[in-house]
Structure 1
Amino acid sequence: MSPSALPSALSSAAERGPGPQGRVSSQAPEDKAAPAIGEYTRSLLVGFLHDARSTLNVSTLATGVDSRTQAAVLATDWHIHTAGEARGTLAWLLEEGHRALYPQVCRILFSVPRAAREREIVLLDDRFDPVRLARCIDNLERAMPDLRASRLLGSRVDLARGVLAWDMSRAIHVARAAYDCGMQTEAQAWAVIEQAASQVFAQMASWQEVAVSHLLGRAMWAGPGAGLQRQLAFVRHCLDDSDSPMRGVRYHAARSGV
């Protein structure tokens, strides 16, 4: 399938972009085979982590959630009310997201003395909202004990994986929700999903690495608490339980062929 065009030009203030965060067919694109377990399910599973619902359909584009509910999710969580707003948010997630923010969060958190953090944040105010940057640093710092206790995050190598999976999982989540309520066509939604999944498969070698990358983004954005605990439990289910879709779909890193 030829990916449909997405906006490529983002504003120079994209790092300050969206906050915390289509009905043609529910099948895979017609010009490709649509196996229930295979390439398309593997791509949809990248978004499975963000939805954090074991009942979510991962064999077809349609999630099974009614359009009114999906429209409310997009409006409340993403400030998306139109197809144009959906395209803009998806372009931001695919091209930038929180991937620009995360390295600065880690650098300041782990390399800058606490007394010098405020000055360091101010020096970056031409690129990042200083309030948001400070909040993300604080969130990740407070979430680190829970992440380490989960034994999913074990080293600086894990931290260095970045938050690509966080951004791409959210892109797939938004694309499917937008499809469900008519803001994305089938072709548009699959183009987003394939672009998002291909970035993940090109940079990560296992579902575990994908899960850690997603958790880091979630922790940076929302901090510790009941929400993070639920996400940690869901990730454990995805990676360990025999009835998890991730256990039934072999991970294929791009170097091995997706």
Structure 2
Amino acid sequence: MTLWQLVIPVVVGLVLAFLWWAGKAMLEGAREGIQEANEELAQEKAEREAQQAEQTAARQQVVETAARSLGEAERFALNLRAPFAQLWIQIFEDAVSGRPLEYFYQFTPPAGKEDELRQSLVEGWEITDHTSALSSLAWLLDSGHRAPYQTVRQHLQSGDGTSDELNKRLAAVVGKWESEVGEVGGLAFDLARAVDIAAQGVALGYLSEAQGWRVLGQCRQMARDAAFRDWAHYGQSFRAGAEFWKSGGVIDGVRNKGYAQTVRWLLEDADSPWVRDPWPTAGQVLEQQRAADTDGVRPTLH
């Protein structure tokens, strides 16, 4: 046996041993690197979650402060417009501060969207000033769409309306919602719109704040005098009125679907003002903080 025959196996063994050691060291290094990376990711995640929790707590505090600044009567009146407030909140949402849920407990919308408010009033109501705002509010408080809704309902109940006398689409809407809303019909839709218009009118300077709160006082009294059982009943009435307004949803089915989703959120989500403040029981006296928000007296808008 030559020297090379003795040396080569030893060299090969040493090389293999070195490769094994180097591979083990690299594997352990990789594992340590992965562990460190995971620890860094976990720390970053914990910091993000802590920051998000802090931001959420801060936002909740803002909402809580806004809610506590109002009496029960004021919150109830503002809650009547909650379906529209929920839709507006999506417009006012900010990438940093999130959804301004405090708007549920604020009379006027957040600043910065006056152009959108103005366009909404012009396109939806042709409201451009004090006089036109008062005119639309007077119509909503006096009759709104609930008056023709009840006319169709009475014809259907009495059976004296012929197919020629009744709009088939309107009759279909009333018949569809009868078991859900009954005698209140689409009243909630008119009330929600009146409160929403009053708030926008104040924000744009078309109404004084005192005039706006008087509108809310009237809407609150109308809601208390109606046969609403709870917010679920009110929400269905809102949807019935909206669908009647759109003649059965044929014109704008997307909007009707959005209203349904909004009402569902208001009835189920923990952040909803309807969840926070259940519908007052019969005979319950609501605490109020504004002398201008008179109870049981029809306001003079002028």
TM over 0.5: yes
Contact 1:163–1:213 (8 Å) recurs in 2: yes
For residues 84-105 of structure 1, the C-alpha deviation after alignment (integer angstroms, 9 at most, x for no partner) is: 0100111111111122211222
TM-score, structure 2 normalization: 0.60
Equivalent of residue 161 in structure 1, options 184, 188, 194: 184
CA shift for structure 1 position 79: 0.8
**Per the alignment, do residues 95 and 216 of structure 1 end up closer, same or farther by CA in structure 2, a change over 3 Å counting?**
same
Report the Cα offset of residue 68 of structure 1: 2.1
2:274 pairs, out of 241, 246, 251, with 246
What is the letter of the counterpart of residue 179 of structure 2? R
Q: Is 1:138 matched up with 2:161?
A: no
Corresponding residue for 2:219? 196
Higher relative contact order, structure no. (Cα contacts within 8 Å, ≥ 6 residues apart) = 1
**What aligned pairs does 1:43-54 form with structure 2 within 5 A after superposition?**
43-53=77-87
| Gap change, CA 1:167 and 1:142, over 3 Å in 2 | closer
The runs of at least 4 aligned residues of structure 1 exceeding 3 Å deviation read 107-114, 142-145
Asked if 1:105 corresponds to 2:159, the answer is: no
1:187, distance to aligned residue in structure 2 (A): 0.2
Aligned-pair distance for 1:159? 2.9
1:215 corresponds, among 218, 234, 239, to 239
Amino acid at match of 1:74: L
Q: Tell me the distance in 2 between the aligned counterparts of 1:231 and 1:140.
A: 20
Pairwise CA distance, 1:213: 1.4
Q: More helix per residue: 1 or 2?
A: 2
Which residue number in structure 2 is paired with residue 236 of structure 1?
264
Deviations 1:165-211 (A, max 9, x none): 11111100110111111101100000001111221122223111211
Structure 1 gaps of 5+ residues are: 1-32, 122-133, 146-152
Q: Is the contact between residue 175 and residue 189 of structure 1 (CA under 8 Å) also seen in structure 2?
A: yes
Question: Unpaired runs of 5+ in structure 2?
Answer: 1-66, 90-100, 287-302
Match of 1:28 in 2: none
Q: Which residue of 1 aligns with 2:254?
A: 226
Q: Tell me the amino acid that sits aligned with residue 148 of structure 2.
A: L
Aligned residues: 202
Candidates 56, 59, 74, aligned match of 1:40: 74
Contact 2:173 2:244 in 1 (8 A): no
Post-superposition offset of 1:107: 3.7
2:170/2:244 contact within 8 Å kept: yes
Percentage identity across aligned positions? Answer: 24
**1:64-103 superposed matches below 5 A:** 64=110, 66-103=113-150
State the alpha-carbon separation in 2 of the partners of residues 166 and 138 from structure 1.
Answer: 18
CA RMSD of superposed structures (Å): 2.7
Pair member with larger Rg? 2
Please state whether the residue corresponding to 1:73 is helix, strand or coil: helix
